Chain A
Amino acid sequence: MAISPAAQPKMVNDGKPPLVNGRLKLRVLTKSMLAIRVTLIALAVLTVIGFMTFNYQEVHLLKGIATTFVNFKTIFASPQFSHFTFPEAVHQLLITLSLGVLTTLIGALIALFLSMLAAENLSNKTVSNSVKGLMAVIRAVPTVLWVLIFAVSAGLGSVAAVIGMSFHSISYLTKAYSESFEELDQGILEALQGCGAGWWQIICQAVLPSSLTSIVSWTFIRFEINFGVSVAMGAAAGAGGIGYDMFMDSAFYYNLHEMGVITYMILAVAMLLEYLSLQMKKRIRA
């Protein structure tokens, strides 16, 4: 195979590597390096222009930052219930959690089948590319937007939230699962084919056992994402749960103390999930 001329260093110095100012050059400027440099310079220029043309209106930057910190202090240093009690808050938190669990579960189940079609080593090229393409389009639209799109037909509320979040979970998990399937050693598939095993047998006896750890860890990562999104959905799509209470506190009651309580509770749940996922992975690996 001929090496493309771009990949070959230019030999100007009698066949020796080129010299710059009498020193040996370590690398040659390739197209990809040039592209990276141009991108970085463009980003730097845009940042400077952005700061110069900001419309600050009446807000004084330093004063604004200072006030924000005062608000943070109110939220985090003096949390306090006023509109609802602790058991009620836990109940709302459970609603949010179940929204996360449900959407992850629906997403994982459907994604498992789609990912088998999307993995190049388990399916054929046409099917794989079309599934992957479709999933990429779905993934490109943010979860919140999908919820709002489904809200057109289902109405703003929990139904739209479940469908929209599941939709995005499917495409996310399909990509994650199919990539872990593709990392599978081709030789194992070959060995089982050689035994006369069929497609489903290879899936259940080799593919799933080999990629179980990554399937579980990807599903958990998505669950963490979905928990965060379902907090936001409570406010943005009226899906209920702790997010809605938080929205009411911040936008209607201006009760920063209660917001602090809610923030701490969400934080506690997020940390608990992190701990659980670590434990689960340990168990599976062992």
Chain B
Amino acid sequence: MTTLLQFKKVSKQYGSSTVALSDVNFSVNEGELVSIIGPSGAGKSTLLRCINRLIDATSGEIIFDGMDVLSIGRRNLKKLRTKIGMIFQNYNLVERLSVFENVLHGRLGYKTALVGALGFYHEEEKARALEILKSLGLEEQIYKRCDQLSGGQKQRVGIARALVQEPRVLLADEPIASLDPSSSKVIMDHLKNICETFGITVLVNLHQLDVALNYSDRIIGISSGRVVFDGMPSALTHDAIRQIYGSDPDGLNLNVERPKEVAQKR
């Protein structure tokens, strides 16, 4: 397995005092599904946004696919971002446009400013978008406006928009935080499926520890901007959980036994 993404001593400061990330080191292999867990405000979102430079890290080195992310120029940044898909807790779709248009936004990074602004897409691009929408079970909805969709459907549109980019890695920023349990399962199953069938690396921020334990190949635990755990789900002990969340796992009302069974089944 080759290393796709590497964080070396990455730090991020807001202003002069607020530290979001400090000395973060980890690496992600190609085709892995990695969950990033930690309490609110621990720096999970900042960490993901450092990868596609929606946020610029203050210091350190981020290597993605052999490129030094922090030092590339504008043109290469656009190229880098096309390789990185991202989905969000609030879906971040353009509500007044149709599902089809929103999905095709994923192709904008490949176009010149004028062609993209006018919204001209190749037939192959449209066909590919349609194929992806079908695989996500959205073929009935393609001409619907996004404000008419349910939360779970919106998130699937978000995934489709990320997939038409033909990304190497998919960043998911709390993708299921505003969804009900059954939609959450659909979304997580799709992410798992994307990871396994297309070999796309998936980095997902999660609040739900049980989901992280059930779905991920590896878990990275973050607490106040530092990586405090990095390992297999089966290695996540009560002590590690206490270190990440700062409270006793028994008090958190978690079922940590079940995922261990899942891990054993593999």
Query: Which A residues are closer than 8 A to B by beta carbons?
Result: 185, 187-188, 190-201, 203-206, 209-210, 212
Contacts and interface: CB of A to CB of B under 8 A. Distances in A.
A198 B118 CA distance: 12
B116 A205 contact: yes
B94 A205 contact: yes
A191 B110 CA distance: 15
27 contacts: A187-B88, A188-B93, A190-B88, A191-B86, A191-B88, A191-B93, A191-B161, A194-B54, A195-B81, A195-B86, A195-B108, A196-B77, A196-B81, A196-B109, A196-B110, A197-B105, A197-B109, A198-B78, A199-B113, A200-B113, A204-B116, A205-B97, A205-B101, A206-B94, A210-B94, A210-B96, A212-B96
B81 A201 contact: no
Interface string B83-114: 01110101011111100010001111111011
Nearest to A194: B86
Interface string B54-86: 100000000000000000000001111110111
Contacts of A191: 86, 88, 92-93, 105, 158, 161
A169 B116 CA distance: 31
Query: Taking chain A's interface residues, is the majority helix, strand, or loop, or is none over half, making it mixed?
Result: helix
Contacts of A197: 105, 108-109, 116
Contacts of A199: 113
A204 B82 contact: no
A112 to B, nearest CB: 14
A188 B88 CA distance: 10
A187 B92 contact: yes
Interface of B: 52, 54, 77-82, 84-86, 88, 90, 92-97, 101, 105-111, 113-114, 116-119, 158, 161, 165
Nearest to A188: B92
Nearest to B118: A204
Given A195-B105, A210-B95, A212-B96, A201 B88 contact: no
B94 A201 contact: no
Nearest to B107: A195
A210 B107 CA distance: 19
Given A200-B113, A203-B117, 20 more contacts: A185-B90, A187-B88, A191-B93, A194-B81, A195-B81, A195-B85, A195-B105, A195-B106, A195-B107, A195-B108, A195-B165, A196-B77, A196-B165, A197-B108, A197-B109, A204-B117, A204-B118, A205-B97, A209-B94, A209-B96
A260 B88 CA distance: 61
A195 B86 CA distance: 8
Contacts of A203: 117
B93 A192 contact: no
B104 to A, nearest CB: 9
A180 to B, nearest CB: 13
Interface centre among A185, A191, A203, A209 (most CB of B within 10 A): A191
A201 B108 contact: yes
Given A191-B88, A201-B111, A210-B95, A196 B82 contact: yes
A137 B253 CA distance: 60
A195 B109 contact: yes
Contacts of B95: 210
Contacts of B165: 195-196
B94 A198 contact: no
B116 A201 contact: yes
